C-alpha cells in the first residue's frame, strides 16, 4: 500500500498523539493524511482521529470501493471507500496502468471524460473537479484526453468513446442516487460499460498504485495541456444527427398540436432534450422552470429518482395541467433514464418501466417492419432485457418471429451483448431494464433518456393521429401478446450483514442447502440462485446466466406461473423485489 513517511513530519506527530492502537488502521490513517491534498477531506479524517472515532475511521479507511452494476458508486466524503479526490485519482491511476497493458496505441487513441452536476461543499467535491483530476492523471502520462467543456448526459460518454475511437471513457455521475452520492462509470472501447474480467483487473491495478503520482493532483492540466481536446460540439452534432435514424414521422411531429412537458430533475438533461425534440421536428417541450437548471441539492424533490412516480413528478404534472399538455417526460439527473406520465380523464397515469418497454418494443418492431427492405430477415432481429425485467418482449418476439435474449441485471451486460450481436451481423432494435432504462436503436450501447424521451413523444404523436393514447395502446399490446402484470419495489437496508443473513436463510430454509418449497400457500416450482450458480429447472442444476458471486440474487418460479426475484441493488442500499404474472394472449 505505498511508502510510509518519516516519523518527524506533521502527520506522524498527529498520529503519535492520537494512535488508534491498531497497526493496520494507523497505517491507513497515515496514508490518507500523507496523500490527500484536499483540505476539507483531510480535516474530516484528522477530526475523527482526534476525537477517538476509531470505528468510523476503520469503516472509512479499511475497505475499498468495488465495481457494482454501474461502476464505482458511494457517498462523497473522506475515506478509501468513499468518492473523493484521492480515490478518483487512485482509480484513474489503476485504469491507466491496465489500459497501458491492454492497448499498444493507448497514447494515440486517447480517453474520454464526462461529468454531471453533482457536488458537496463540505468535502470540496464536485463532479467537474473529479473529472478534472481524472483527466490530470492521464494528461500527466501523455495520454490525449477528450474532456467535455461542460456537463453532459451519461450516454454522451459511451457514444464519444465509439465515435472518437478512444480506448475507454469515464463518466463522473451517481445518476439518480441521493444528493450525497457520486460515482465513476467506466466504458470500454466498444462503448459498453466494463464487465468482468476488466473490472477485477482494474481493481488489482488500483491496489498496485495507490500513492498519487507526480502530476496526478494538477487539475489545471485540463486548461493548459495541448493533449486535451473538447469534443462537445462534434459529439453533440453527431449524436443529434444519428438520432434522426430512429425518427419515422417527422411530418406528423412538425404539425402536431400535442404539447409535452419535460423535467430534467435539477440535472443535465434540459439543453439536450430540447435539441433532440428539434432534431425530430417538434416544438421544444415545456420545461419545468424550478427543475430546469442544475442544482446539486435537488432542492424540489425528496429524492432525484423519477422512478418514484407521482410523488416526485408533482411540479411537472401541475405545470402540464396548467399548459394543457397531455404527456410528461422526466429524465433523471444524468439523463440516462426516462419516466413518462400521461393525462387521462383528469387524472395521471405514471407508466412503470415494464409498461414503457411494452410500448417501446411494439413501436420499434412495428417501425422496423414498416420500413425494412423486402429481403430483410426477421430472424436476424433482436431485442434484449435484463432477467428481472418484464417478459413482454419475449411474448412479442414469439408472435412476431424475432429473437429475444435476457442478461444479468445492469446495462453493462446488455451493452456488451448488443455489441457482440452487431459484430455478428445481427440487428438490435431495442433493449431495456425495468428501472426505466431504455436503449432505442444502437447509436449508444447504454441506456439513454434523451433518445427515449423524443421517441416516446413521436409515438404519442403518431397514436394521437389514430385517436389513441399511450395507455390505450398499452392495453391493445397486452390484448395482442398477453397480459403481463408486474410489481416491483424495494426495502432499504443499510447493514450488509443483515442482507447476507436474509439471503443465507433462504438458501438454508428448512435444512442446510434447501430453499423454501412454499411462499404462504403458493407452491414454488423452481429456484435459480445467480449468486451460487444453482438452477433447479436445468437438467444439470446449473444456471444458464453467468454466476455473479459479488451480489445476491434468487429467483422463484411458482406453480401458478408467477416469477419473483429478490436481489441486492448494485448502486444503492436496497433489497429489490420483482414479481410478474404472464398470461397467454386472449387470457
Distance CA 106, CA 342 (A): 47
Using DSSP's 3-state secondary structure scheme, residue 303 falls into coil
Residue whose C-alpha is closest to residue 395's, from 475, 476, 481, 474 = 481
Cα dihedral value 555, 587, 431, 559, nearest 10? 10
Residue whose C-alpha is closest to residue 33's, from 22, 258, 18 = 18
Provide the grid cell at 91: 482509480
CB neighbour list of residue 496: distance below 8 Å, 6 or more residues apart = none
142: burial class by Cβ within 10 Å (0-12, 13-18, 19+)? Answer: exposed
CB neighbour list of residue 570: distance below 8 Å, 6 or more residues apart = 68, 69, 70, 409, 410, 551
CA angle, 282 as apex, 278 and 288 as ends, to 5°? Answer: 85
Distance CA 225, CA 66 (A): 31
The 8-class DSSP code of residue 547 comes to P
Residue 552 near residue 537 (C-beta atoms within 8 A): no
**Positive or negative torsion for Cα 257, 361, 548, 504:** positive
Residue 30 near residue 4 (C-beta atoms within 8 A): yes
Distance CA 168, CA 335 (A): 20
DSSP lists the bridge partners of residue 327 as: 260, 342
- HSE at residue 256, side-chain half, CA atoms within 13 A, is 28
Distance CA 338, CA 450 (A): 8
Provide the grid cell at 34: 500523507
The 8-class DSSP code of residue 403 comes to E
Residue 90 near residue 136 (C-beta atoms within 8 A): no
Provide the grid cell at 235: 459529439
Looking at 74, 91, 126, 175, which residue is catalytic?
175
Q: Is 104 a catalytic residue?
A: no
Distance CA 371, CA 450 (A): 23
Q: What are the E-state strand segments in 399-507?
A: 403-407, 427-433, 437-440, 484-492
Residue 428 near residue 421 (C-beta atoms within 8 A): yes
Provide the grid cell at 79: 475515506
User: What Cα–Cα distance (Å) separates residue 291 from each residue in 156, 161, 328, 416, 477?
Assistant: 21, 29, 14, 34, 34
Catalytic residues: 175
Amino acid at each position: 500500500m505505498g511508502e510510509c513517511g518519516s516519523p518527524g513530519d506533521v502527520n506522524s506527530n498527529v498520529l503519535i498523539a492520537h494512535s488508534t492502537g491498531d497497526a493496520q488502521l494507523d497505517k491507513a490513517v497515515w496514508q490518507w493524511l500523507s496523500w490527500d491534498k484536499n483540505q476539507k477531506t483531510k480535516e474530516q479524517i484528522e477530526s475523527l482521529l482526534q476525537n477517538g472515532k476509531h470505528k468510523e475511521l476503520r469503516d472509512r479507511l479499511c475497505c475499498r470501493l468495488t465495481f457494482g452494476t454501474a461502476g464505482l458508486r458511494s457517498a462523497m466524503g473522506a475515506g478509501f471507500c468513499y468518492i473523493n479526490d484521492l480515490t478518483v485519482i487512485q482509480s484513474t491511476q489503476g485504469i491507466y496502468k491496465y489500459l497501458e497493458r491492454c492497448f499498444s496505441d493507448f497514447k494515440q487513441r486517447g480517453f474520454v471524460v464526462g461529468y454531471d452536476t453533482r457536488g458537496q461543499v463540505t468535502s470540496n467535491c464536485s463532479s467537474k473537479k473529479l473529472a478534472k483530476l481524472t483527466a490530470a492523471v492521464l494528461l500527466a502520462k501523455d495520454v490525449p484526453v477528450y474532456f467535455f467543456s461542460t456537463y453532459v448526459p451519461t450516454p454522451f460518454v459511451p457514444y464519444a468513446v465509439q465515435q472518437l475511437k478512444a480506448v475507454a471513457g469515464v463518466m463522473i455521475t451517481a445518476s439518480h442516487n441521493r444528493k450525497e452520492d457520486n460515482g465513476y462509470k467506466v466504458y470500454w472501447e466498444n462503448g459498453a460499460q466494463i464487465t468482468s474480467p476488466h473490472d477485477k483487473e482494474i481493481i488489482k491495478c488500483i491496489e498496485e498504485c495507490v500513492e498519487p503520482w507526480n502530476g496526478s493532483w494538477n487539475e489545471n492540466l485540463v486548461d493548459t495541456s495541448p493533449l486535451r481536446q473538447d469534443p462537445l460540439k462534434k459529439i453533440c452534432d453527431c449524436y443529434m444527427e444519428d438520432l434522426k435514424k430512429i425518427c419515422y414521422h417527422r411530418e406528423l411531429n412538425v404539425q402536431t398540436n400535442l404539447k409535452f412537458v419535460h423535467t430534467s430533475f435539477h440535472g443535465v438533461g434540459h439543453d439536450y432534450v430540447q435539441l433532440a425534440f428539434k432534431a425530430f421536428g417538434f416544438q421544444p417541450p415545456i420545461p419545468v422552470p424550478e427543475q430546469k437548471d442544475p442544482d446539486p441539492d435537488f432542492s424540489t424533490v425528496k429524492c432525484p429518482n423519477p422512478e418514484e412516480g407521482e410523488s416526485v413528478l408533482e411540479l411537472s404534472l401541475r405545470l402540464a395541467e396548467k399548459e394543457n399538455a397531455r404527456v410528461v417526460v422526466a429524465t433523471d439527473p444524468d439523463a440516462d433514464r426516462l419516466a413518462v406520465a400521461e393525462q387521462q380523464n383528469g387524472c395521471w397515469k405514471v407508466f412503470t418501466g415494464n409498461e414503457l418497454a411494452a410500448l417501446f418494443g411494439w413501436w420499434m418492431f412495428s417501425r422496423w417492419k414498416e420500413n425494412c427492405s423486402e429481403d430483410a430477415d426477421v430472424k436476424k432481429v433482436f431485442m434484449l432485457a435484463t432477467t428481472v425485467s418484464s417478459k413482454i418482449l419475449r411474448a412479442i418476439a414469439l408472435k412476431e418471429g424475432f429473437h429475444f435474449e435476457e442478461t444479468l441485471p445492469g446495462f453493462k451486460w446488455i451493452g456488451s451483448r448488443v455489441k457482440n450481436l452487431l459484430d455478428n451481423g445481427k440487428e438490435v432494435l431495442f433493449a431495456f431494464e425495468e428501472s426505466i432504462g431504455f436503449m432505442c436503436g444502437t447509436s449508444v450501447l447504454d441506456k439513454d433518456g434523451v433518445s427515449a424521451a423524443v421517441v416516446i413523444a413521436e409515438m404519442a404523436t403518431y397514436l394521437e393521429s389514430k385517436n389513441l393514447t399511450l395507455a390505450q395502446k398499452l392495453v391493445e399490446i397486452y390484448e395482442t401478446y398477453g397480459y403481463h402484470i408486474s410489481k416491483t419495489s424495494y426495502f432499504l437496508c443499510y447493514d450488509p450483514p443483515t442482507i447476507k443473513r436474509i439471503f443465507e436463510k433462504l438458501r438454508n430454509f428448512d435444512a442446510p442447502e434447501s430453499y423454501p418449497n412454499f411462499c404462504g400457500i403458493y407452491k414454488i416450482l423452481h429456484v435459480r440462485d445467480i449468486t451460487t450458480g444453482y438452477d433447479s429447472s436445468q437438467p444439470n442444476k446449473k444456471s444458464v446466466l453467468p454466476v455473479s458471486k459479488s451480489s445476491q440474487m434468487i429467483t422463484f418460479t411458482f406453480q401458478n406461473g408467477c416469477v419473483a426475484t429478490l436481489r441486492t441493488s448494485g448502486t444503492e442500499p436496497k433489497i429489490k423485489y420483482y414479481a410478474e404474472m404472464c398470461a397467454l394472449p386472449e387470457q
